[in-house]
């Protein structure tokens, strides 16, 4: 057909040709694929055998929005949750460009070389696979991704932080049941995601670059209190001097934050992930933390479990309220009145709660 | 009648004698008292006329648990809420013994001497009048309490922080409608009360003593980020040198916290409330803050109003859930299972939410 050749809508069209796909071989292939959809029991067994394909499939069920998948996912989680866990859950945060991927890859390789099994997960509520999540771009961890003892999984493509957090926490349980010793959880630090990651790890690591001037400028509120260790990355070549100054500055800064309940004094380290320098010191610090806080880690996990129970309840109660269409109409209007001091926030709240109550009944 | 003298139930009893209280004078007295219970309209007028008795009575209605009183209180609040407010709301916190009462009294007198009207409120969810609240013990502010231009009101005796916070916020509205220029809100810093006070004031002041050694030790997490100015009290006599060191230490510490959104750089000052020294510098700093942040104060109040709307809604949703007796029975059991990793927190949350939902319908 020539370019710009117009065809009338009344013109007779060709029929649709059947393609050759409905042959015996194709049918057998599809049937075979269907048969291979594994049962819950076989997935659980696969996870316990350390089979990465089974682990991957189970996480896919956890991440699915399909109700049947969710029932299956819950069955798998329930089976795996009580498995013994002498593991380390490490949260890693830092702004884009700080070198998180390289750092995680080098730390991961360092650990697999010691015979450890390492899982890498991510919490990044704004990204999906295609939207430039660091872990989504798997090619950036080319070496680790081919490592038999490593398992890398990008952030679930879910809009809400609550959803991503839940799926990541359940993935941790599955990875641990599959005998992964160290779980590295990355976050790019969008919104409240550091708090979510802090609420699911034993150790929280902040990756920084040596800056020029006030080192605290780029740090969000609350991060310094959460951090167990600051690692200044790219401390190599001409950055070395700035990294030394940054180390002094951060060490001083940490001194001005209230002490941690578990007695741990946060450390400041330097490394060059690119040059593979300082990684063993980072790992040694994490081991020192584990030794120093010993039982505190398991207590912390207990309280993290409780936190997620209550957090999930409260998030859902709020969601039910704010997704109530009757509420939405009134809320916007009342918020404006409340903000401009025309209506008391407490009176407005009472009105909205009464409306929601009526709807539920 | 003799002791141990048993009386048969069939025995005839004496009639009840009328006492002499039903005389003319008593009846007139009661009628007169009833008449003096002021109407909502007269209270509103009284408040606008700056009548402290009317203000006091209105606050009593706000604090009452009686439903009729609450309806009246809401009517008064609604009338007063939109009144123009060129006022300053100042939160003052500090541990017991730091000298808050003396500081507030001296600052209050300093302001009334300049012709300003000063109201002093408190947020102290754990105390009632009799339980040693600083403001409950009014005799500690003997001078200010007798000042025509001062109004002092202790913390409402309410158990929950949410209740105390609401009543205090409503009292602020009433005080401002009664033409008080400066509202000082004290908190003894129990639990989350600083956060509540921070959420209702323009300026947040932390009162400290010069310590011996690490000045940050006694400071709770989050307080340093909230503070607009640290005032080191009792900087007199032999404490002077320690106070100077503390000033240097706190100034350095504040430098290590992320900058504030409104651009204000928190200050560290010294004073001796007892010797009446440094009070004018404190006030000047507050005025500088007001000038420097100008419109930001009014924006902040808007967002504080919105915050209290959403906070009240969410507190109530949670309260409805946790006070559900069916939930209480299950929650305790499930929390233990969740903490010990026998049940996933998300699965447990779903179960409880379903139970609550069924109850509401």
Give the pLDDT of chain B (361 residues) as one tens digit per residue. Answer: 444 444 444 545 555 555 555 677 777 776 666 556 789 999 999 999 999 999 999 999 999 988 899 899 999 999 999 876 789 999 999 888 888 889 999 999 999 999 999 999 988 765 544 344 445 454 578 889 899 999 999 877 766 777 888 899 999 999 999 999 999 999 876 567 888 899 999 999 999 988 755 566 667 767 888 999 999 999 998 889 999 999 998 898 888 787 888 889 999 999 999 899 999 999 999 999 999 998 888 899 999 999 999 999 998 999 999 999 989 989 999 999 999 989 999 889 999 999 998 876 6
Q: Which two tokens mark B122?
A: 């408190």
Q: Does residue A111 carry a pLDDT above 60?
A: yes
- A233 has which bridge partners? A209
- Partner residue facing B339 (CB), from A225, A306, A312: A306
Same domain, A259 and A162: yes
Residue A179: left (phi > 0), alpha (psi -120 to 50), or beta? left
Would residue A281 count as lying in a domain? yes
Which residues of chain B lie closer than 8 angstroms to A346, CB-CB?
Answer: 166, 169-170, 308, 312
Would residue B267 count as lying in a domain? yes
What's the pLDDT at A1?
41
CA distances for A151 relative to A80, A104, A108, A203, B35, angstroms: 18, 12, 10, 20, 80
Q: Which two tokens mark B214?
A: 């690490």
Are A345 and B306 within 8 A, CB to CB? yes
Looking at CA atoms only, how far is residue B52 from chain A in angstroms? Answer: 22
Looking at CA atoms only, how far is residue B307 from chain A in angstroms? Answer: 8
Same domain, A233 and A110: yes
Q: Residue B268 maps to which CATH number?
A: 3.40.50.300
Last residue within a domain, chosen from A49, A82, A115: A82
Select the residue from A310, A334, A356 to test the B interface by mutation, using most B Cβ atoms within 10 A: A310
Same domain, A68 and A89: no
ipTM comes to 0.77
Same domain, B156 and B44: no
* Distance between first and last Cα of chain A: 64
- Partner residue facing A258 (CB), from B219, B338, B343: B219
Same domain, A76 and A99: no
Are A348 and B309 within 8 A, CB to CB? yes
Last residue within a domain, chosen from B76, B104, B136: B76
Q: Residue B46 maps to which CATH number?
A: 1.20.5
pLDDT in tens, A12-36: 555 555 555 567 777 777 666 655 6
Higher-confidence residue: A225 or A83? A225
Q: Does residue A7 carry a pLDDT above 70?
A: no
- Partner residue facing B321 (CB), from A166, A317, A345: A317
Same domain, B50 and B102: no
Same domain, A349 and A252: no
Q: Mean pLDDT lowest for which of A94-108, A127-141, B116-130, B318-332?
A: A127-141
Q: For chain B, how many structural domains are there in total? A: 3
Would residue A308 count as lying in a domain? no
Same domain, B121 and B57: no
- Partner residue facing B348 (CB), from A257, A259, A309: A309
Would residue B305 count as lying in a domain? no
CA distances for A109 relative to A145, A280, A341, B105, angstroms: 10, 11, 58, 64
Would residue B11 count as lying in a domain? no
pLDDT in tens, A208-241: 988 755 566 667 767 888 999 999 999 998 889 9
Q: Which two tokens mark B269?
A: 């000052």
Which residues of chain B lie closer than 8 angstroms to A343, CB-CB?
Answer: 78, 81
Are A344 and B256 within 8 A, CB to CB? no
Same domain, A71 and A200: no
Would residue A280 count as lying in a domain? yes
Which residues of chain B lie closer than 8 angstroms to A225, CB-CB?
Answer: 221
Would residue A213 count as lying in a domain? yes
Q: Residue A50 maps to which CATH number?
A: 1.20.5.170
Q: Mean pLDDT lowest for which of A206-210, A292-296, A357-361, B142-146?
A: A357-361
Cα–Cα distance between A133 and A120 in angstroms, integer? Answer: 13
Same domain, B333 and B283: no
- B121 has which bridge partners? B185
Would residue B299 count as lying in a domain? no
Half-sphere exposure of A34 (CA within 13 A, CB side): 6
pLDDT in tens, B176-230: 999 999 999 998 765 678 888 999 999 999 999 887 555 666 677 678 889 999 9
Q: Which two tokens mark A186?
A: 């990355």
Which residues of chain B lie closer than 8 angstroms to A255, CB-CB?
Answer: 216
Chain A residue with CA closest to B335: the answer is: A306
Are B81 and A344 within 8 A, CB to CB? yes
Which residues of chain A lie closer than 8 angstroms to B302, CB-CB?
Answer: 339-340
Same domain, B159 and B64: no
pLDDT in tens, B325-350: 989 989 999 999 999 989 999 889 99
Same domain, A66 and A200: no
Q: Does residue A140 carry a pLDDT above 50?
A: yes
Domain assignment of residue A57, given as a range:
35-82
């Amino acid at each position: 057909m020539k370019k710009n050749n117009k065809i009338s809508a009344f013109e007779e069209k060709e029929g649709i040709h059947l393609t050759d796909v409905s042959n015996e071989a194709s049918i057998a292939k599809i049937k075979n694929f269907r048969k291979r959809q594994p049962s819950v029991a076989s997935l659980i067994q696969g996870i316990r055998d350390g089979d990465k394909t089974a682990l991957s499939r189970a996480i896919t069920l956890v991440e699915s929005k399909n109700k049947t998948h969710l029932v299956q996912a819950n069955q798998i989680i329930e089976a795996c949750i009580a498995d013994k866990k002498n593991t380390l859950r490490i949260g890693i945060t830092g702004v884009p460009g700080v070198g998180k991927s390289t750092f995680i890859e080098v730390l991961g390789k360092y650990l697999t070389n010691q015979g450890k099994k390492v899982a890498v997960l991510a919490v990044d509520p704004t990204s999906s696979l295609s939207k430039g999540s660091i872990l989504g771009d798997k090619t950036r961890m080319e070496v680790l991704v081919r490592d038999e003892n490593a398992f890398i999984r990008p952030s679930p493509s879910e809009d809400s932080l609550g959803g991503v957090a839940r799926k990541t926490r359940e993935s941790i349980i599955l990875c641990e049941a599959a005998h992964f010793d160290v779980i590295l959880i990355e976050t790019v630090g969008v919104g409240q995601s550091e708090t979510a990651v802090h609420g699911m790890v034993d150790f929280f690591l902040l990756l920084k670059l040596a800056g020029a001037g006030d080192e605290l400028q780029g740090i969000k509120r609350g991060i310094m209190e959460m951090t167990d260790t600051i690692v200044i990355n790219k401390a190599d070549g001409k950055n070395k001097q700035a990294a030394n100054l940054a180390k002094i500055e951060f060490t001083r800064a940490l001194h001005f934050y209230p002490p941690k309940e578990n007695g741990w004094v946060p450390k400041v380290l330097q490394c060059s992930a690119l040059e593979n320098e300082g990684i063993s010191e980072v790992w040694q610090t994490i081991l020192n933390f584990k030794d120093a806080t010993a039982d505190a880690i398991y207590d912390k996990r207990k309280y993290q479990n409780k936190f997620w129970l209550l957090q999930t309840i409260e998030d859902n109660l709020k969601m039910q309220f704010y997704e109530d269409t009757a509420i939405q109409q009134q809320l916007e209007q009342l918020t404006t009145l409340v903000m401009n001091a025309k209506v008391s926030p407490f009176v407005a709240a009472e009105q909205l709660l009464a409306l929601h109550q009526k709807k539920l009944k």
